Structure 1
Amino acid sequence: MAGPVTYFDPANAPGLPARERDLVERRGRALGGAYRLLYERPLHLVRGRGTRVWDADGIEYLDAYNNVPAVGHAHPRVVAAIAEQAATLNTHTRYLAEGVVDYAEDVLATLPAHLGNAMFTCTGSEANDLALRIAKLTTGRDGVLASRNAYHGVTTETAAISPSLGGVGSIAAWTRLVDPLDLGASVRAALADGLRPAALILDTILASDGVITDPAGLTDAAADVRAAGGLLIADEVQPGFGRLGTGLWGFERLGLEPDLVTVGKPMGNGHPVAAVFAGPELVEAFGAHARYFNTFGGNPVSMAAAQATLDVIRDEGLVENARLVGGRLLAALRGLDASLGVVDVRGAGLYVGVELGSTDRTVAVVNRMRDRGVLLAASGADNTVLKIRPPLPFSTDDADRLVTELEAALAGTGD
């Protein structure tokens, strides 16, 4: 099975309580076998608020996994903005509307000046797909470099550069996978092998590679790709909108100046909205040869959700909260007793990876934490890293609870 080994095995459905067993079986019949559920015992969630979610039995869980509700589950300002606009008008972008322009101007003002245009989609997959189209058309090349266990989406184009989705065997002939621990050397090797690069695309926290905060050789890799005629795409779908605690964007933390930036997931706090940010010259060159339209991308309800989310991030100081609480969390995790077997702790803000060095142990700890009322997941090519990425209002009490429960789960107590 491709992907994280923390997925539920449908063969275990007969052992579930009747209500969950029946729902799992109905889901399998209706949705098919390509979908996955998390954990040895899947969760049946019915409600969320802030950093908490509740299951069908009323059991509360601390959410340390879901970065999509960036400003917290069911944030009232986002809910109200969506409801008000949905009750007023929702249509596509072929009519004049203030909301899409207002939001574009607002979010573009947070980006470097050379990124002057926004093109809206519904998902991060679509955003990355569009960024690749722009890169390939404007450079006249088709080669793409991506990290060794990257995830950039589920379209035909983005799945072809996402080994974490379908395995290395699913990668297209025009893709080269590069080592996130030695980007400079591996990019040079790919270029020396004759790859004609349209783009180097990198998630700026290298989340699927196990949360690599400071990839070696990144500056050289970007320069070499540009010298060879390619572009740099910063995939901010996971780390963007303040998660790393050093401003809104991960590429700034790394000192990069990308040609294209893609965003999604947390952009609308759960509402499906995403975008590509690009220089006007790239958009003009693309638009001279290809028409862009997306029925739902940039619609008024999506823009209301995105605007409310961005406003809440600023008004509630959530970037600073990510820095402060993330720093406390990192320090506490790094201070865990050596006997608990933590190999490394990496992270920035509220995106943290805890390297355990063993697939089986990581899977066991993920499921122990679920049973202890804390949700997280696994990452890395061999699923040896605990992935922690909670909603941005995560508090110091939340962080302390997570560390306390993790300490017990690592020790194997209370199972």
Structure 2
Amino acid sequence: MSRATASGQVRQILDMNAFRPGDTDAEAVERRLANLGAASVLFYREPIEMVSAEGAWMTAKDGTRYLDFYNNVPSVGHSHPRVVEAVSRQIAQLNTNTRYIVSVVDDYLEALKAHMPDSLSNVVMTCSGSEANDLAMRVAMAATGGTGFIVTETAYHGNTALVTEASPSALKRGSLPETVIAIPPPSVQHSGEDIAGGFRRSVEMALAEFARRGITPAALMADSIFSSDGIFADPPGFLSEAVDAIRAAGALFIADEVQPGFGRTGDAFWGFGRHGITPDMVTMGKPMGNGFPMAGMAVRPDHLEQFCADVGYFNTFGGNPVAAAAGKAVLDVIRDEGLQENARDTGALLLEGLRDVARADARVADVRGAGLFIGVDLAEEETGRPDPDLTVKVIDGMRSRGVLIGAAGRYGATLKVRPPLCLKREEAEQFVEAFKGALS
């Protein structure tokens, strides 16, 4: 797969504004490189050594406090006291695998299922979103007899061997296997004003290509806000036509909710909820335990039975009592602190503030999103082409102003805005001011 483009270089997801050996000779960085080697991934050309975090803020070793708009893992806030207390209490009492009945595990599963469509009544717990997506792909193949997967062209779904093959943005060289087809994201650029019809047509073209290859399709797998592609949320409902098309071909729809799930979009608890659809499987991760490693897959019982008839599944640490305690605390905090509603309301304030900046600066080509998940496209003022160099400049400028932010999209020219759901109005306003300053 060629990585070159007319407007620059396609950006591999882990390389966006990342440290590269030689940028600094700091002792702590050299220590990390000696331990992790080529697999080391550090944010910023000059990495930050963090020592603590609370709410929407992180504190570095040198005492600098940063407003965190980068990391969606601690979704209810860094070091939330209710999550800390739940994990501490449970690990002091019992932690074991799911071969034993422990009530906190089933308490959590039932609380989670209360947010799911009724048809997805089985949940398999894992430790990472990668494992959840790997399992979902295997279940889809068992349920359909197919091997073909449709994803978007800059999708990232995880890092197991199987899931990496369905994660175009993870590839530094080489090409996708014959069993994976990447289609354009649901954007105006690719579909014009008919986002729903355009995305459906892309799915249908992929299905026709599978037919030419003699490959039976297994699933369309999509992050329902298309975060790695650059955040495409609207109009609500546009996904339904593509889902109808994939099901008409005898395949399934896997909703990857690792990033948009758990109230982040504001309008609905899940990203797919904004589209009025019921997936065949839902995969979850990252914010599920507010930083405690946990993930899972919700699935129809008949599909799970078809898979387990062949190989079965067991995960030693998946669904352990400490993870369940963390997950239950997260659900309780989202409910009790009104965090989905806060994502909707504070997100609307943030979106409007960023659009005000866009109206005054032609380099801000587009601002879009839902709740506290927003994409900001940066472009060359004269040509309108994506400008990854400006994006890195803005990211560094915001860091110097005490705000952490990352990039996404095919060219790394989209700011990916996803702060903790507890974000306050004044913190949203601080972000907008930092953004304006970084553009100056």
Q: Same fold (TM over 0.5)?
A: yes
Shift of 1:338: 2.5
Q: Is the 8 A contact 1:51 1:390 kept in 2?
A: yes
Structure 1 spans left out of the alignment, 5+ residues: 15-20
Question: Would you say 1:2 and 2:23 are equivalent positions?
Answer: no
Matches within 5 A, 1:14-413: 14=25, 21-167=26-172, 169-181=174-186, 182-193=198-209, 194=211, 195-214=215-234, 218-336=239-357, 337-339=359-361, 341-357=363-379, 358-411=387-440
Q: Deviations over 1:11-57 (max 9, x none)?
A: 1123xxxxxx1111111111111221111211111100000000001
Look up the SS of the partner of 2:242 in the other structure: helix
Which stretch of structure 1 is more off in the superposition, 220-229 or 61-70?
Answer: 220-229
| Alignment RMSD | 1.4
Q: Is the 8 A contact 2:145 2:216 kept in 1?
A: no
Q: Distance in 1 between matches of 2:265 and 2:361?
A: 29
Shift of 1:322: 0.2
Which stretch of structure 1 is more off in the superposition, 229-238 or 248-257?
Answer: 248-257
Which stretch of structure 1 is more off in the superposition, 367-376 or 337-346?
Answer: 337-346
Q: Is the 8 A contact 1:233 1:261 kept in 2?
A: yes
Q: Distance in 2 between matches of 1:201 and 1:13?
A: 39
Q: Distance in 2 between matches of 1:207 and 1:169?
A: 23
Shift of 1:184: 1.4
Shift of 1:221: 1.8
Q: Distance in 1 between matches of 2:410 and 2:40?
A: 20
Look up the SS of the partner of 1:30 in the other structure: helix
Q: Distance in 2 between matches of 1:89 and 1:269?
A: 20
Shift of 1:274: 0.5
Q: Distance in 1 between matches of 2:177 and 2:35?
A: 31
Q: Is the 8 A contact 1:340 1:410 kept in 2?
A: no
Shift of 1:146: 0.3
Q: Is the 8 A contact 2:234 2:369 kept in 1?
A: no
TM-score (norm 2): 0.90
Shift of 1:340: 5.4
Q: Deviations over 1:295-328 (max 9, x none)?
A: 0000000000000111111010000000000000
Look up the SS of the partner of 2:228 in the other structure: helix
Change in CA separation of 1:247 and 1:2 when aligned onto 2, cut-off 3 Å: closer
Look up the SS of the partner of 1:74 in the other structure: coil
Shift of 1:251: 0.2
Q: Distance in 1 between matches of 2:38 and 2:206?
A: 36
Shift of 1:218: 2.9
Q: Distance in 1 between matches of 2:227 and 2:401?
A: 24
Which stretch of structure 1 is more off in the superposition, 248-257 or 324-333?
Answer: 248-257
Shift of 1:170: 4.6
Q: Distance in 2 between matches of 1:379 and 1:55?
A: 24
Q: Deviations over 1:360-402 (max 9, x none)?
A: 1011101111111000100001001011100100010010000
Look up the SS of the partner of 2:279 in the other structure: coil
Q: Is the 8 A contact 1:52 1:62 kept in 2?
A: yes
